[in-house]
Amino acid sequence: MIEVADYSQSFGKKEVLRDVSFTIHKGEIVGLLGPSGSGKTTLIKSIIGMQRPTGGTISVMGETQPTLAVSKSIGYMAQADALYGDLSARGNLRYFGKLYGLKKKELAERVEEVLRFTDLTADASRPVHLFSGGMKRRLSLAIALIHEPPLLLLDEPTVGIDPKLKRVFWQEFEELRAKGVTIVVTTHIMDEAERCDRLLLIQDGRLLDGGTPQELKDEFGSIEGAFMRKEGV
């Protein structure tokens, strides 16, 4: 699904990521784990095709990014909510669903399905500018899911979500994985990292290591320990 080869990304003289290589297969949940500012969001944006790599290549479903060829096959939940505040939750979902090419009947059904999943049905007619931060995060996830994409890229998807709903989200992620959906999640939350099939550890623009949560714990004692050992602490 995703192949990253010798990827680097710079903005002016600032090098954010360098010499990053990895592969992600269909039906995996892969966690990009690292502290704030480590380059996780930059990497996600390059995978989506929002920016052209400074060096190396990124291929998504056989297409070299950036390209529009796979844009409708990707669901993206950004770290910062990109919503229309004057529209209702239902209005936002209809708008983005139409952009993804959903037709009238399918669109109506999908809107109600994702509203139920994100527990927003009762507030679906309220303008989004009245929503709390957590409600906006839920709506952003609903938009990422509206077109049932085979690839989901979720940038800190559970920030501001209460623990009960967070469990519901992860249950859904695991069900999607069972259906063959590939999910890439950025996080710095360790209990979420443990639910991923594989982890890619990113620190200061470098890919430190990768493996299953259990493999990293077996080698370093804990996932946090993997970071500390790699940094020479």
Task: Give the domains, in start order, of the chain with CATH numbers.
Answer: 2-83+151-230 (3.40.50.300)
The answer to whether residues 186 and 155 touch, using CB atoms and an 8 Å cutoff, is yes
pLDDT of residue 141: 93
- The Cα 58–Cα 129 span in angstroms is 36
pLDDT of residue 233: 45
Query: How open is the CA angle 82-88-92, to the nearest 5 degrees?
Result: 45
- Residue 192, exposed/middle/buried by CB under 10 A (0-12, 13-18, 19+)? buried
pLDDT of residue 143: 96
Residue that is written with structure tokens 């992600």 in the block = 24
Q: Got the DSSP string for 79-102?
A: SS----TTSBHHHHHHHHHHHTT-
Query: How open is the CA angle 189-38-198, to the nearest 5 degrees?
Result: 50
Mean pLDDT by groups of 10 residues along the chain of 233 residues: 96 93 96 86 94 96 95 92 94 96 95 94 97 92 96 90 86 92 90 91 85 85 70 50
pLDDT of residue 22: 95
User: Tens digits of per-residue pLDDT, 141-150?
Assistant: 999 999 999 9
The tokens describing 97, both together, are: 């669903």
pLDDT of residue 32: 93
CA dihedral 146, 150, 156, 162 (to 10 degrees): 50
Reported pTM: 0.90
pLDDT of residue 227: 65
Q: How many Cα atoms within 13 Å fall on the side-chain side of residue 216?
A: 26
pLDDT of residue 53: 95
Q: Which of 42, 49, 33, 45 has its CA nearest to residue 14?
A: 42
